[in-house]
Chain A
Amino acid sequence: MKPLLEMRSITKTFPGVKALNAVNLTVMEGEIHALVGENGAGKSTLMKVLSGVYPSGSYEGEIHYDGQLAAFSGIRESEAVGIIIIHQELALVPLLSIAENLFIGNERAHNGVVDWHETFQRTEALLKKVGLSEAPGTLVDRIGVGKQQLVEIAKALSKDVRLLILDEPTSALSEKDSQALLDLLTELKAQGVTSIIISHKLNEVRSIADRVTVIRDGSTISTLDARGEALTEDRIIRDMVGRDMAQRFPARESKPGDILMEVRDWNVWHPEHTERQVIRNACLNVRAGEVVGIAGLMGSGRTELAMSIFGRSYGRRISGEVMIEGAPADVSTVDRSIAAGLAYVTEDRKHLGLVLDDTIQRNITLANLPEVASFGVISEAREIRVAEGFRKAINIRTPGVFQKVGNLSGGNQQKVVLSKWLFADPKVLILDEPTRGIDVGAKYEIYGIINKLVADGKGVLMISSELPELLGMCDRIYVMNEGALVGELTAAEASQERIMSFIVRS
């Protein structure tokens, strides 16, 4: 068997972050190759490099495809040679029919007039191939997510796919739909289609993949043969999480005090799909001087839990109780939650955390403007003093506080968001992926800020997809999966393997 794809020492840098560091990936013709790694390890970035979303020239390294050096300047060029990527968020237009979706951008037409006869005929043939019996004219939003996934694959087939890339294809699917999808991949393999599948579900990986490549922190860790019995899930997990944690986290003496925040029987339903329960009977508490972690995969409901607590910013039919310092707290709106002593640092700082067109100073004071105002009139002098104070105290690297935050690096933006919430002087801070997308140095500084907060008697609830970070920082860790807290570990009990096994086996 010869390699269909060879990616050689691919390095991709974003402003301030090295997302990929000399990654190698070899995929054999006709195999199913699994790509595994933690969130943020660089899997999706690697696939975006491959498919030309990041065009040739924006990264270092070489891609050899089908024996030739490939330099794609866009997704059209990679599709032309048969590399088709199916993203985690499906790219179908919900109010168009299956047939229209299959040939979008690739319409069966003569002189600009769509040939509906051919479109429908080919659609039927393609749907048959992926095992769907829907009529080609069915609107996409009328069929379930599982079938939509199959439509995506049919769309790939319509483009004469040779290398099919699936990013977390089963994350939103039920058991039955997942199995159907995996069966289809095996069938396609028999027809000569090579696949790369990105997945967190190790049992799936073991059942379907020929080989597994593990990526961690933007580097290739290992490529393992998955055929036969030799490869265990524990082995994969070990490679995924790594072992070295030395000196990545500033030391802190753990001194938990009284319970600051307690959440009881928290239930939340999805805002649009109202029959779907997103959070189930969550109970948790955070003590003064304690960093409590929530581990879990993307989509496990961590952010939804945090946002529903913080002023009901997410979800419907929310029930349950939040106690602050032992008394029931009114957290029904964001301003009441802030008044009750909560702060929420979002995982999506650009869309939910910052006003990018505004200055550092104006962002920092936004959540607590009355503090720098008298009778509703802002004292600019006071505001600047506050902002300058934070700039120096937590080392926001910028010439002054009049810079637009949109021009700052990720780490500095995150420091601005943190400053905003520190200025609101909360009792409990909920930090959602506080170090996502920022470099190692800035991460260390943020860990230092967190340690200082708890030393001052505040409580921190930290959501993170990076297990080493949770293990390095937390006194206690809750494990979340599919909307429920499925485990609780103290710092002494917790290990990456134990958390991972809670997640992949629950």
Chain B
Amino acid sequence: MASEPAAHQDARQGRSAGQYLANHLRDYGMVLALIAIMAFFQVMTDGTLLRPVNITNLFLQNSYIIIMALGMLLVIVAGHIDLSVGSVVGFVGALAAVMMVNWDWSIYLTIPCCLMVGILIGAAQGYWIAYWRIPSFIVTLAGMLVFRGASLWLLAGQSVGPFPREFQALSTGFIPDLLPFVKTMLGVERMNGFAVVTGLVIAGLIVWMGLRSRARNQAYGMAAEPLSFFVLRNLLVSGAIVFVSYKLATFRGLPNVLITMGVLTIIYAFLTESTVLGRRIYALGGNEKAAKLSGIRTERLTFLTFVNMGMLAALAGLIFAARLNTATPKAGVSFELDVIAAVFIGGASMSGGVGKIVGAVVGAFIMGVMNNGMSIMGIGIDYQQVIKGLVLLAAVIFDVYNKNKQS
């Protein structure tokens, strides 16, 4: 009996890599799609897409979408939706502007206050959704209207700005070269040594962690990825990180917001994959009744996912305001759609219980690269919308098709 599963797996591994790819199309599909889209725009924009300044721009433009996608993933995995995040972005940006410009508050008071307001907004919405069982679509649709109106009122219909430099640094600041000797060592004139070293370290870490988890999977007899895939995937990912960090290094170094985004992504990936809390959110979305009968306090958990979403939306609001250096009543309009689209493109399921943080981030980049690439190509906003809509639809159809094929 004990030898049978092992034999079973050997047989599976013996099969072609194509078979493996077919079984894990979803996991690789989005990354492949992202690479294909980037290659396409790289060619179509005559290499503009991957210029250092444009890569920097890509991060600045998409950071707030990605940060919100982290929270939205949890909300969607829990089986809900949050339509209010775009309005919360606008409202918190407006609030920060009023605090700093009109009231002369320090940013060290403004930022915590604004995050707190985000938490309260999330709590206010989550309360009705979790404890009163009012559909999240309705509650957050109401929130979307309320906070859009509130930001208009707060700004009295005007734009408010500019902000102190330190606040702008939240979005447009860069990490200075902490390791200037690297530049001298390599004899290059214009390069941020810290960025390059960071990139190399992260790439190394990813490979190391990949090897470790691979060894562990094999020890426990999990269906392992064929070696060729493992090598290829790690080469691609670490190569991409080194490439990007080098490119960034030749411009102005690592943007602050990239660090914020990266750290948050790692935290949320860890939270969803390795903690009790994360596991319970997946169980809640996968089968709420079974989760409840297993002793999970499903109401409180739902409430917390919305509190978290509110906080991240507030953070995104601050970063967006910092980037524009002004708060406008229109800030954040339709952001919720970009965020939700990113999460679904990234493989989350509308019915809950399924989805990964990495998927949501890749989904956000797919949207981001398309926005950016099409803008460089000078494609009109009309076509852009149509194309983005079709990509979203295609991604979800691809998902459903895959699922039907498996069962």
A residues whose Cβ falls under 8 Å from a Cβ of B: 310-311, 313, 333-335, 337-338, 344, 346, 351-358, 362, 366-367, 369-370, 373, 376-378, 380-381, 384, 388, 399-400, 402, 420, 424
The residue on B at minimum CB distance from A370 is B276
Measured CB to CB, the closest approach of chain A to B224, in angstroms, equals 11
Cβ-defined contact, B289 with A369, below 8 A: no
Given contacts A335-B296, A351-B289, 14 further A-B contacts (CB under 8 A): A337-B295, A351-B290, A352-B290, A352-B293, A355-B286, A366-B290, A366-B294, A369-B279, A378-B275, A380-B216, A380-B274, A399-B9, A400-B5, A402-B222
Report how far A298 CA is from B277 CA in the complex, Å: 37
Measured CB to CB, the closest approach of chain B to A345, in angstroms, equals 10
Measured CB to CB, the closest approach of chain A to B290, in angstroms, equals 6
Q: Which residues of B contact A377 (CB under 8 A)?
A: 274-276
Report how far A369 CA is from B280 CA in the complex, Å: 9
Decide yes or no whether B8 CB sits under 8 A from chain A: yes
Cβ-defined contact, A381 with B216, below 8 A: yes
Within the complex, which residue of A353, A356, A378 is in contact with B279, where a contact is CB–CB below 8 Å? A378
Within the complex, which residue of B8, B220, B282, B289 is in contact with A384, where a contact is CB–CB below 8 Å? B220
Q: Which residues of B contact A378 (CB under 8 A)?
A: 274-276, 279
Measured CB to CB, the closest approach of chain A to B35, in angstroms, equals 28
Cβ-defined contact, B286 with A358, below 8 A: yes
Cβ-defined contact, A338 with B277, below 8 A: no
Measured CB to CB, the closest approach of chain B to A400, in angstroms, equals 5
What are 17 A-B interface contacts by the 8 Å CB criterion?
A: A310-B293, A313-B293, A334-B294, A351-B289, A352-B289, A357-B286, A357-B354, A358-B286, A362-B282, A366-B283, A367-B295, A369-B280, A376-B276, A377-B274, A380-B216, A399-B8, A402-B222
Decide yes or no whether B382 CB sits under 8 A from chain A: no
Decide yes or no whether B4 CB sits under 8 A from chain A: yes
Decide yes or no whether B79 CB sits under 8 A from chain A: no
Report how far A369 CA is from B297 CA in the complex, Å: 13
The residue on B at minimum CB distance from A307 is B293
Q: Which residues of A contact B274 (CB under 8 A)?
A: 377-378, 380
Q: What's the tally of chain B residues with a CB closer than 8 Å to chain A?
A: 30
Q: Which residues of B contact A369 (CB under 8 A)?
A: 276, 279-280
Q: Which residues of B contact A335 (CB under 8 A)?
A: 295-297
The 7 A-B residue pairs with the shortest CB-CB distance, nearest first, are A355-B286, A335-B295, A399-B5, A367-B294, A338-B295, A355-B287, A369-B276
Report how far A346 CA is from B286 CA in the complex, Å: 17
Measured CB to CB, the closest approach of chain B to A30, in angstroms, equals 46
Report how far A259 CA is from B58 CA in the complex, Å: 68
Decide yes or no whether B190 CB sits under 8 A from chain A: no
Q: Which residues of A contact B15 (CB under 8 A)?
A: none
Within the complex, which residue of B8, B221, B282, B293 is in contact with A353, where a contact is CB–CB below 8 Å? B293
Q: Which residues of A contact B282 (CB under 8 A)?
A: 355, 358, 362
- CB within 8 Å of A: which B219-268 residues: 220-223
Measured CB to CB, the closest approach of chain B to A352, in angstroms, equals 5
Report how far A355 CA is from B222 CA in the complex, Å: 20
* Known pairs A335-B295, A376-B275; A355 contacts B216 (CB<8 A): no
Q: Which residues of A contact B223 (CB under 8 A)?
A: 402
Measured CB to CB, the closest approach of chain B to A255, in angstroms, equals 30
Cβ-defined contact, B8 with A366, below 8 A: no
Q: Which residues of B contact A354 (CB under 8 A)?
A: 287, 290
Measured CB to CB, the closest approach of chain A to B166, in angstroms, equals 34
* Known pairs A338-B295, A353-B290, A376-B277; A400 contacts B222 (CB<8 A): yes
Report how far A380 CA is from B217 CA in the complex, Å: 10
Measured CB to CB, the closest approach of chain A to B34, in angstroms, equals 25
